[in-house]
Amino acid sequence: MPFDLHEPVAALMRQVAREIVMPRFRNLTADEIAEKAANDFVTIADKESELRLSEGLSAILPEAGIIGEEACAADPAILERAGDGLNWIIDPIDGTGNFAAGNPPFGIMVALADAGTTLAGWILDPLTGRLCHALRGGGSHIDGQTVRAKESGGDLPIAALAVYFMTDEERADIQRRADGAFVLVDIPRCAAEQYPRLVLGQNDVSVFARTLPWDHAAGTLFVNEAGGCCQRLDGTPYVVGDVRRGLLGASSPRLWDQAARQLFG
């Protein structure tokens, strides 16, 4: 089934980027930006993008439910059924903080999951047009070309650690463990950019504390299908609907094992 969905989903995402997201980039008024929680922003473009994506995806596959970030913000009960049955998972603008500030990167992310297992995922960069796509059992692709994850090849692995949702104690511990074992780089504050970096050889390791499905369903599948490794900290797969915290991604299984021992062993 997902094999037949790639082209219509990709076309819908590109249309939403072109008609809704990009016209609002660096063109938002103050009353079009709101703060849902501390450092967690939403804009009129997020809401309009989710509405259009929800309508379009429902037309493509009517039997699938919709789990959208902004719908869940308005009604948290929606998230409780994310792991039940067939669902579209929508992040209408990932990296909203960047988008609202007029800065890259940001992206649009869509996944299709069945009973918690991600079947397919799409990650679009509206600025460059780069489209990452993965299909369970069918590999990972960027702009139609099959890709395999590669390590950066440096003396030390390059790590981008998303620690801002950790407690002070967790943050101090992981930074202590990482010191001297990795080259630490800034995170892009955008999962739609962080996951491709693990495949493209730009970053070797990423840690995520908060693991909401719209941020991670598409990206974990993309990394894993490319030959990288993205799993829970205990080595179990990422499952939509699992409310546990903590996710570790790496550009290879070898580096995943190394990072897991160093950072969480």
Please report, as a single letter, which amino acid is at residue 109: M
Binding residues, by number, are 69, 91, 93-94, 215
The structure's pTM equals 0.96
Binding residues for Mg(2+), by number, are 69, 91, 93-94, 215
Please report, as a single letter, which amino acid is at residue 121: G
Strand order in the sheet with 145-147: 65-68, 86-94, 107-114, 117-124, 131-135, 139-142, 145-147
List of domains in the chain: 2-146 (3.30.540.10), 158-264 (3.40.190.80)
Spatial separation of the C-alpha atoms in residues 183 and 175, rounded to whole Å: 11
Q: What pLDDT tens digit does each residue of the chain (265 aa) get?
A: 555 899 999 999 999 999 999 999 999 999 999 988 777 899 999 999 999 999 999 999 999 999 999 999 999 999 999 999 999 999 999 999 999 999 999 999 999 999 999 999 999 999 999 999 999 999 999 999 999 999 999 999 999 998 777 788 888 899 999 999 999 999 999 999 999 999 999 999 999 999 999 999 999 999 999 999 999 999 999 999 999 999 999 999 999 999 999 999 8
Helix intervals (H) in 131-240: 168-178, 191-200, 213-225
